[in-house]
C-alpha cells in the first residue's frame, strides 16, 4: 500500500514539474488575468453574484492547497514519498501570491478613500503586487529575508479572506475583518515555526509573543484598511428630505443661525453585495472632535447604492468652522466622507443644495466602466 502511494506521489511530482516547466514562459500572463478576474468579480458583486462568488471560491481553494501542501508533503514523506522540489513550490506560491494581490486589487482601489490613511495601505498593496511579478526581487525576498516574506505571505492571507467572505457568505465587513485577522494569525504559525526553529521554551514564548503582536497590529490597522466590498456612490447635504422618494430636498446657506432653525440632512448612497445587511455610522465631527455618532442599517444589491440619511437637529452655539461626516463601519473602517464649512454670515457661507455628488477618488478611475455591459 505504501509503495503504491509513493509511486503515485512521485508520478504526480513528475507531472507537476513538467507542467510548470511548460507554463513558465507564459507566467507573465497570470497577473493581468488575475486582475481581470478580480475586476469581473467586483463588477458581479451585485449583478451575477453567484459567478462572482465562484471566482472568489476558486481563489480561496488555491490558498487552502498552498497552505496544506507543506503538511501533506511531510505526511507523505514519512511514508517514503518525496517532497516537491523547492523550485516548484516557490513557483506555485508566487503564482498564488500574484493571483491574490491582483484579484483583490480592484476591490481595494475602488473602495479606498484617497484623502485618508487608506491611501497608504492601497499604495503598499499595489507595491506588493508589483513585487510579486519582479522575479529577482520576489525570490530574493523569499530566500534571504524570510521575516519580510512571512509578513508578505500573512498579508496575502489577510486580503483573500477580507475580500472573499462577504461575497461568498454575505458576512458583514466587521465579521470579515475579524476573521481575516484570525486567519492571517493562524496560518502564519507554521511560517513562524519554520522561521524560528523553536527548540526551547524561550523560542516558543517568542513565537507566542510575535503572534500576539501580529494580531494586535492587524486589528489596530482597521482605520487604514478600505472596506473592500462597501463603497460610497453618492452623497448630499440638504435642509429637508423627501422620505417617500428617499431624496434630499431644498437649499440652505450653512450659517449658524440657519442650522439652529432647520438642522441638516446628510444623505449617502452605499453600494454593497446583494444580500448583505450591515450597520454603519455617520460620525459628525466639528474641527476634528466627535459630536454625534448615528447608526444606520444598509442593505446590498442596489446598483446606485442603498440610500440612507441622518438628520442632525442640534448644533452647538459655536458651530462655525470645519465639519466632517465620516461614514464608518462598526470596526472603524471609513467608507466615505462628507465635508462642509459653517460660517457666521450668509455671504461667506457654503450652500447645501441637495445635489447628489459622486465621491472623489483616483482621477478618471472607475473600474466598472471598463467592463462590458456597464450602464
In DSSP notation, 164-207 reads HHHHHH---HHHHHHHHHHHHHHHTHHHHHHHH---SHHHHHHH
Q: Is the domain defined by 231-358 classed in CATH 2.60.40?
A: yes
Grid cell 504559525 is found at 189
Lay out the sheet containing 334-342: strands in order across.
289-299, 277-286, 321-329, 334-342
Domain with CATH 2.60.40 in the chain: 231-358
Q: Measured on CA atoms in the order 116, 98, 59, 219, is the torsion positive or negative?
A: negative
DSSP, collapsed to helix, strand or coil, labels residue 42 as: helix
Give pTM, 2 decimals: 0.76
Q: What digits encode the pLDDT tens for the residues 71-98? A: 555 555 555 555 455 556 667 777 788 8
DSSP of 150-167: HHHHHHHHHHHHHHHHHH
Strands (E), the chain: 231-238, 240-242, 247-249, 252-253, 264-271, 277-286, 289-299, 306-312, 321-329, 334-342, 351-352
Give phi and psi for 124, each to the nearest 5. -65, -45
pLDDT of residue 198: 73
Cell of 243: 422620505
The Cβ of residue 304 has, within 10 Å, a number of other Cβ atoms equal to 10
Is-contact 113 228, C-beta < 8 A? no
Q: How far apart are the first and last CA of the chain?
A: 60
Handedness of CA 61, 66, 72, 77 (dihedral sign): positive
Looking at residue 368, what DSSP letter applies? G
* pLDDT profile of the chain (375 residues), mean per 10: 55 60 64 71 56 58 59 55 56 78 86 90 92 85 79 83 78 88 80 73 84 86 90 92 90 91 92 81 94 89 78 88 94 93 86 85 40 37
CA 334, 337, 341 angle in degrees (round to 5)? 145
Largest CA distance in the chain: 89
Residues 205-228 have pLDDT tens digits of 888 888 888 888 888 889 999 998
Render 309-332 in DSSP notation, one character per residue: EEEE----TT--EEEEEEEEETTS
Cell of 22: 511548460
Considering the chain, what is the average pLDDT of its residues?
A: 78
Residue 333 near residue 122 (C-beta atoms within 8 A): no
Specify the DSSP class assigned to residue 342.
Answer: E
How high is the pLDDT of residue 100?
Answer: 82
For the beta carbon of residue 26, count every other beta carbon within 10 angstroms: 8
CA-derived radius of gyration, the chain? 25
Are 66 and 107 spatial neighbours (Cβ–Cβ below 8 Å)?
no
Eight-state DSSP code of residue 343: B
Taking a C-beta distance cutoff of 8 angstroms, is the pair 236, 282 a contact?
A: no
Cβ–Cβ under 8 Å, residues 31 and 68: no
Instruction: Using alpha carbons, select from 222, 244, 250, 253 the residue that is nearest to residue 334.
Output: 222
Give the pLDDT of residue 9: 53
Amino acid at each position: 500500500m505504501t509503495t503504491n502511494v509513493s509511486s503515485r506521489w512521485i508520478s504526480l511530482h513528475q507531472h507537476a514539474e513538467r507542467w510548470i516547466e511548460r507554463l513558465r514562459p507564459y507566467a507573465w500572463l497570470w497577473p493581468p488575468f488575475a486582475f481581470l478576474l478580480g475586476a469581473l468579480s467586483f463588477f458581479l458583486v451585485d449583478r451575477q453574484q453567484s459567478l462572482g462568488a465562484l471566482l472568489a471560491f476558486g481563489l480561496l481553494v488555491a490558498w487552502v492547497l498552498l497552505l496544506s501542501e507543506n503538511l501533506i508533503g511531510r505526511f507523505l514523506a514519512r511514508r517514503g514519498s518525496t517532497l516537491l522540489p523547492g523550485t516548484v513550490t516557490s513557483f506555485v506560491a508566487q503564482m498564488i501570491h500574484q493571483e491574490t494581490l491582483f484579484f483583490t486589487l480592484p476591490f481595494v482601489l475602488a473602495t479606498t478613500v484617497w484623502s485618508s490613511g487608506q491611501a497608504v495601505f492601497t499604495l503598499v498593496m499595489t507595491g506588493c503586487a508589483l513585487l510579486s511579478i519582479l522575479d529577482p526581487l520576489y525570490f530574493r525576498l523569499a530566500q534571504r529575508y524570510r521575516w519580510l516574506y512571512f509578513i508578505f505571505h500573512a498579508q496575502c492571507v489577510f486580503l483573500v479572506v477580507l475580500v472573499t467572505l462577504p461575497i461568498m457568505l454575505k458576512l458583514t465587513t466587521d465579521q470579515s475583518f475579524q476573521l481575516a485577522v484570525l486567519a492571517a494569525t493562524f496560518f502564519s504559525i507554521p511560517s513562524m515555526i519554520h522561521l524560528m526553529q523553536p527548540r526551547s521554551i524561550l523560542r516558543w514564548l517568542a513565537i507566542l509573543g510575535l503572534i500576539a503582536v501580529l494580531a494586535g497590529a492587524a486589528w489596530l490597522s482597521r482605520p487604514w484598511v478600505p472596506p473592500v466590498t462597501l463603497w460610497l456612490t453618492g452623497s448630499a447635504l440638504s435642509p429637508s428630505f423627501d422620505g417617500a422618494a428617499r431624496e434630499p430636498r431644498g437649499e440652505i446657506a450653512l450659517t449658524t443661525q440657519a442650522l439652529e432653525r432647520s438642522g441638516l440632512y446628510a444623505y449617502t448612497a452605499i453600494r454593497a453585495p446583494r444580500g448583505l445587511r450591515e450597520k454603519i455610522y455617520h460620525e459628525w465631527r466639528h474641527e476634528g472632535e466627535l459630536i454625534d455618532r448615528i447608526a444606520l442599517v444598509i442593505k446590498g444589491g442596489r446598483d446606485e447604492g442603498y440610500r440612507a440619511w441622518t438628520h442632525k437637529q442640534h448644533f452647538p452655539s459655536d458651530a462655525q468652522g470645519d465639519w466632517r461626516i465620516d461614514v464608518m463601519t462598526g470596526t472603524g473602517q471609513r467608507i466615505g466622507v462628507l465635508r462642509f464649512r459653517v460660517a457666521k454670515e450668509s455671504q461667506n457661507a457654503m450652500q447645501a443644495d441637495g445635489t447628489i455628488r459622486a465621491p472623489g477618488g483616483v482621477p478618471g478611475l472607475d473600474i466598472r466602466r471598463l467592463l462590458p455591459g456597464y450602464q
